[in-house]
Structure 1
Amino acid sequence: MNAPPRLKPHSSHWGVFEAGWQDGRLVVQPHPGDPDPNPILQNFPEAIRHRARIAQPMVRRGWLEKGPGKSDRRGRDEFVPMSWDKVLDLLAGELARVRDAHGPGAVFGGSYGWSSAGRFHHAQSQVHRFLNTSIGGYVKSVNSYSAGASAVILPHFLGPFEAVSRRNVTWEQIVEHTEICVAFGGMALKNSAVASGGVSAHVERGSMAAAAKRGCVFVNVSPVRDDLPEECHHEWLAPVPNTDTAMMLGMAHTLLTEGLHDVAFIDRYCSGWAEFEAYLTGRSDGVPKTAEWAATICGLPAETIAGLARRMAGKRSLIAMAHSLQRAEHGEQPVWMAGVLAAMLGQYGLPGGGFNYALGSIAHYGKRQNAVPTAALPQGKNGVGPFIPVARISDMLLNPGVEFDYDGKRMTYPDIRLVYWAGGNPFHHHQDLNRLRHAFAAVETLVVHEIAWTATARHADIVLPTTMTLEREDIGAAPTDPLMVAMHRVAEPFGEARDDYDIFADLAERLGKREAFTEGRDTRAWLRHLYAPTQKGLAEKGLPAPDFDAFWEEGYLTLPQQDDDGGIIRAFRDDPEGAALPTRTGRIQLFSEAIAGFGYADCPGHPAWLEPTDAPAEGRPLWLVANQPASRLHSQFDFGGHSSAMKRRGREVMRIHPTDAAVRGIGDGDIVRLFNARGACLATAAVSEDVRPGVVQLPTGAWYDPEDPEDDMALCVHGNPNILTRDVGTSSLAQGCTGQLTSVEVERFTGNLPPIRAFDPPVA
């Protein structure tokens, strides 16, 4: 009988776990204290030695032979293997050339992505620290693809993004107090199963089940039925996508005209009611926003809209909003309107009531804050001022020197010569991938650190193979999770892969900046340094404060957590004068003079219904919902065992309503082609009543796999929906990502089925 494997503690964004080897195979077991562990953990065993891993440094042949410069050969060229010493000499010379000829403002430190859950081997922090300490800085990006619009609009009307999302309503409060929770965009467990920095206990499913058992009513407002779990016995309302703002306006009109709104709360805690009421009643534009008006837009009966408003009035009601609603055209509007609707109900600051943006969108939200600090790698000072909203990378690379709007400012896209990417895959996150290919062709040099041959790595000029999380030591910690994890090394590095830190240290040495980057520390010394603030915080509270060696040996450390105090929203309700909100008026702004003063036609001074332009039309009659996947985090380990098992016929699964499938002659399990003017992809059809008629749903994260890499409009044979999505900002205010929704046509695919080569290494 084989001996059981010796398991070591480790952590990931999708859960704490233990891992070890048995009979040459990696064994992964969830942390025993996790009540609802995430099956994504089972991507690790297949991924760790997969053929898609990068074994040695590679340089694109065309860049090596012709030197830096614009090239449409990126993504279709051969690669030349190279030794570490030679490739680092080459790269250091190129960094010095760009720095000396154009300044650090010609370098974009991209690196948007989740990468490792560890506090030290966090790829974004590593590359940003390197660029700051070694060449003087870089052009950065701000905000996120997940919350690009909300991160800008929330501070205008309510407060800082983190304060009103992470520290607000908790799952404990919902279990005990909430009477009705209306979740716009749902609270899908696939989303709350992940958290940057790790999560040791997935409590969302159990919390919703407990609240429902007590009598809390959950309402899922989404085109997809399973955006709330079965355990909460939810009601499902499925409006037309991107019409939630109209639906909320109809609810608000019902509250107003039937005298159900909380006048006292609005008078004491809000500003701008007169301007918003004029719009709501139609005095300002001649269009009363009645439930009947909303019904014609969102496709729900007027009585359903008005009835939901009546059911919420006078109860401990909670409005939750997923990231998905603001990842669309005019994405600022539903966030702001949800905040206004919650103000009319008067529940802000009460336990389990009010408005909690992004509750259920990530495992950090709805939990208590830790009472002691957890450190992160300091990134140093960036000497470059210009930045871009994160989703505007193609615009920047294609339009240097062109002006654009952002949050009341007129800005200019910088002239980028070198892009340095570590820990991320824009061919997952970004939209209109054919446009992105042209954008990456416009730079002189693209450098990528990667564990595997993603599409981004295939488009690089210099590819440096890095270790994956199980091949290095780190500390796992998150500000709302009480378990700190000593992430032990479980496997030897694949091929010649190296830690990002060691790569950057050797690069910094070639640039004469090793000491500035490393501060004289190796990896273990940095882990001791990052652990010290937590140890000090515990000692100051009179709690057991083991030294680093004891923590490392034990593997886990439980941290104390703060009281469930409701944060700035609760403090504001208790004392609106003494604890005013950090908005311009100190109140919840139903109307913003600042935003009105910007003069943006696509984002007025109060929440408003704005017709989307990328809606179904002739030739593209269906809405496509391109949401987050359940089988992986974004595109990470798409080649892993769990992710592969969730595909059908090797391709991503697209859900389509039976009515829409029948019209097109599509059966369950058929290969289908989704297409619009921007591109096309293949997927496997699943005929299901869990999506609204007129809607198809295809998750993101399948690695981009063009049938013909030489064709700029090639068919993606694997099922990446971002070949179809539109690369435009949410509005002039936030310039956020609009990748959640677009319009397409779908047909049964009858040609010869192309092979899937996404995970095959390129020619070397």
Structure 2
Amino acid sequence: MRPSTSHWGAFSADVTGGRLRVVPHPADPAPSPLLGNLAAALDHPSRVARPAVRRGWLEDGPGPDERRGRDEFVEVPWDEVLDRVAAELGRVREEHGNQAIFGGSYGWASAGRFHHAQSQLHRFLNTIGGYTGSRNSYSNGTSSVLLPHVVGDAHAVLRQASTWPTIAEHTELIVAFGGVPEKNVFVTPGGVTEHGTPGHLARLRARVALVSPLRDDLPSTVDARWYPIRPATDTALMMGLAHTLVAEGLHDRDFLARYCAGYAEFERYLLGTGKDAHWASGITGIPAADIVALAREMAAHRTLVTVTWSLQRTEHGEQPVWAGITLAAMLGQIGLPGGGFGHGYGSMGDVGDTGPEVRTPYLPQGVNPVREFIPVARIADLLLHPGASYDYDGEVRRYPDIRLVHWAGGNPFHHHQDLNRLRRAFTRPDTVVVHEPFWTATARHADVVLPVTTTLEREDLGSGRRDTHLIAMHRITEPRGESRDDHTIFAALAERLGVEKAFTEGRSPREWLEHLYEEWRVSSGAPPFAEFWAAGELRLPPGPTHHTLLADFRADPDVHPLKTPSGRIEITSAVVAGFGYDDCPGHPVWLPPKETGPLRLIANQPRTRLHSQLDGGAVSRAGKVAGREAIRLNPADAAARGIGPGDVVRVFNARGACLAGAVLDDAVRPGVAQLPTGAWFDPVDDHPASPLCAHGNPNVLTADVPSSRLSQGCAGQHAAVDVERFDGPLPEVTALRPPPL
């Protein structure tokens, strides 16, 4: 058994008789069930065996092409395909400049710190003059732009909230907007060796007000009252709670005066527009008496207001975060242990964790000379509208003209919205190059597909944010087919472009591991590399059990001011107000969703895999219904449509449709459908019901619109849809096997 790790946990493994055996790390109190998907990484039919080139690009050369995603591929020897890619990189640089190259990568491909696909891609592109890149994330890209305006530093909220031990000791009431979904806490970028959050949730003593359309957004073992809110109305509920606090004199005037800026403007809006509990009830579906009672309970106890990342992945996603901070400020408990505001509990495994705050070894990416970038969720706009202007955080920017997309790590045909629009966008560049172990939809929409190894087939250093261990990731098995690691591919391209020495610095992958580790251990006091590698792991120093950033601010805001213009919590931001954005004014406001329909679809994270990774794995397959992704409906909504358990249904709106398998569950609020993301996109181009995804990817339904002009963040958590039983001939699911070769 050899040690390794993944984004969902550390493990040991071996391969005997062609079968992978996986054993969770012995120190892990709650190993992730997602480890059961790993066996699919070995010999799944969807593995890319050899370099492949789309026939149209091979025969006709670079250029926009509507055949992308529909064309067949031709397998080509490595030397030939590398020559062609290097020549195309050279052509684009010479004719259009480096800003015409988009370095696409979302960074989730590997838990290893050296074979981190995003770092390898960006380092390579920087050595040849740079690239247009992306900023922020689909997960919390809205919050990461907003929070510096409100609290000065996103880190103060995302990484310095109360830890679970602090909550256990001090918190009496948690008001959880979006819940604390346990399914997400098994995952952290780089891995989690000891999953502590499930145990903390099981031992939680605080009462919880679960504000979510889904009852299972909190473990059933937790003492909770469920407030089954209408989706996308959390800000309205916060307004109703805030109004009650003011009307009954329960808000902390002294805290608001000393630690906050701009509260008076918000209160005038709140009272002047009548945002009371009765108003909020009509929007949220929560009885007014319950809203008033909850506000009183919040004021009477040590209360933690939490907002999941999911709530900011919607239209106007800034508002529930800003309103949640405002509500916590009105209670006067920000900076108190176990009180105040938290963002992301249940969204990621390291939020609330007490693990080490140590930066482990990493590969330097170099400096990108190109100043062009996009907010990450604007990739389709970038490709479809070169030269168009857009707003972003007070700036007016323009999309560069992208001629070559080089993607390594990530699957935009999983996490982006309106996939039919994204398909059109991917027809526009001259060339699309993708590094992939599997024939994902992104690979199928490429011109050149380069087969890369999985983490089981290479050596690396693994550790996640706040992880307790640095893991020596040993090679578990030999590379499949002709796959190579990203570093080896980029080194070969760098050689052809005359920059090999700058990229590799003369080191092999194993020599890089030793170099990065030895550089790091100078300041860490760790043992030599050989000793670490033989041991298979290194336990890192413990982290703090209490965070002090906001506690210091509370102790003396003049000595420890926030990094806002006022040094205070900006309930009203003059900077944001000055931008003049009608979809994100200068203080929290209620802005209703623009799109309405018979059902509100929640496209949340799956419990059976990380994003779309290893969708062909055993755990992921076990969650399918009729071979398609499962959609949960309230029994009343299903009965009204003649839908029974296990029926294949068509989920549709004006943007597209997908097929899914019905599951009836009264843990889903009436009027809501829940279909997780991550089923590999499987478009059926010649079906009468097209555009149709046969496999159940909800992003054929979500709108490709930004949360606001401030952040340009992802708004793909919700969509207005309807559902009907599908009685026609069922199209075959083909996403998990290779395209025609």
Same-fold call, TM > 0.5? yes
1:32 aligned residue: 26
- Runs (4+) of structure 1 exceeding 4 A deviation are 709-713
2:146 aligned residue: 153
Q: Does 1:168 align with 2:161?
A: yes
1:547 aligned residue: 528
1:53 to 41, 47, 55: 47
1:364 to 350, 354, 358: 350
Q: Is the 8 A contact 1:374 1:533 kept in 2?
A: no
Cα deviation, residue 294, structure 1: 0.5
Q: Does 1:119 align with 2:113?
A: yes
Q: Does 1:588 align with 2:589?
A: no
Q: Map of 1:1-16 to 2, 5 A cutoff?
A: 7-16=1-10
Q: Does 1:196 align with 2:177?
A: no
What letter matches 2:188 in structure 1? A
Q: Distance in 2 between matches of 1:580 and 1:639?
A: 50
Q: Distance in 1 between matches of 2:181 and 2:517?
A: 34
What letter matches 1:29 in structure 2? V
1:241 to 211, 231, 253: 231
2:90 to 87, 96, 109: 96
Give the SS at the match of 1:241. coil
Q: Is the 8 A contact 2:434 2:449 kept in 1?
A: yes
What letter matches 1:463 in structure 2? V
Q: Distance in 2 between matches of 1:112 and 1:52?
A: 21
2:136 to 134, 143, 161: 143
Q: Map of 1:381-420 to 2, 5 A cutoff?
A: 381-420=367-406
Q: Is the 8 A contact 2:602 2:674 kept in 1?
A: yes
Q: Residue by residue, what CA displacement relative to the aligned partner does 1:144-196 show, whole Å, maximum 9, x if unpaired?
A: 11112111111110132233211221111111111011111111111111000
Q: Distance in 1 between matches of 2:105 and 2:658?
A: 26
Cα deviation, residue 218, structure 1: 1.3
Give the SS at the match of 2:175. strand
1:4 aligned residue: none
Q: Over aligned residues, Cα RMSD in angstroms?
A: 1.3
Q: Distance in 2 between matches of 1:479 and 1:638?
A: 25
Q: Distance in 1 between matches of 2:149 and 2:14?
A: 49
Cα deviation, residue 206, structure 1: 1.3
1:179 aligned residue: 172
Give the SS at the match of 2:396. strand
Q: Does 1:250 align with 2:240?
A: yes
Q: Distance in 2 between matches of 1:372 and 1:676?
A: 47
2:589 aligned residue: 608
Cα deviation, residue 369, structure 1: 5.2
5+ unaligned residues in a row in structure 2: which ranges? none
What letter matches 1:443 in structure 2? P
Q: Is the 8 A contact 2:115 2:486 kept in 1?
A: yes
Cα deviation, residue 113, structure 1: 4.2
Q: Distance in 1 between matches of 2:686 and 2:122?
A: 31
Q: Is the 8 A contact 2:190 2:462 kept in 1?
A: yes
Q: Is the 8 A contact 1:166 1:367 kept in 2?
A: no
Give the SS at the match of 2:3. strand
Q: 1:190 to 1:533 in 2, by over 3 A?
A: farther
2:298 aligned residue: 312
Q: Is the 8 A contact 1:167 1:368 kept in 2?
A: no
Q: Distance in 2 between matches of 1:562 and 1:673?
A: 49
Between 731-740 and 368-377, report the one with greater CA deviation. 368-377
What letter matches 2:513 in structure 1? L
Cα deviation, residue 664, structure 1: 0.3
What letter matches 1:182 in structure 2? V
Q: Does 1:355 align with 2:351?
A: no
Q: Distance in 2 between matches of 1:701 and 1:25?
A: 25
Q: Distance in 2 between matches of 1:712 and 1:423?
A: 32
What letter matches 2:670 in structure 1? P
Give the SS at the match of 1:100. helix
What letter matches 1:14 in structure 2? W
Number of aligned positions between the proteins: 741
1:22 aligned residue: 16
Q: Is the 8 A contact 1:47 1:641 kept in 2?
A: no
**Identity score, percent:** 58
Q: Is the 8 A contact 2:7 2:464 kept in 1?
A: no
Cα deviation, residue 219, structure 1: 1.7
Cα deviation, residue 533, structure 1: 4.4
Q: Is the 8 A contact 2:196 2:353 kept in 1?
A: no
What letter matches 1:16 in structure 2? A
Q: Is the 8 A contact 1:360 1:366 kept in 2?
A: no
Q: 1:702 to 1:372 in 2, by over 3 A?
A: closer
Cα deviation, residue 565, structure 1: 3.8
Give the SS at the match of 1:385. coil
Q: Does 1:229 align with 2:214?
A: no
Instruction: Output the TM-score relative to the length of structure 2.
Output: 0.99
1:688 aligned residue: 665
Q: 1:351 to 1:395 in 2, by over 3 A?
A: same
1:267 to 222, 241, 257: 257
1:456 aligned residue: 442
Q: Distance in 2 between matches of 1:709 and 1:476?
A: 44
Q: Does 1:763 align with 2:740?
A: yes
Cα deviation, residue 477, structure 1: 1.2
Q: 1:567 to 1:108 in 2, by over 3 A?
A: farther
Cα deviation, residue 562, structure 1: 3.3
2:313 to 327, 330, 339: 327
Q: Is the 8 A contact 1:112 1:124 kept in 2?
A: yes
Cα deviation, residue 712, structure 1: 11
Give the SS at the match of 2:300. coil
2:540 aligned residue: 559
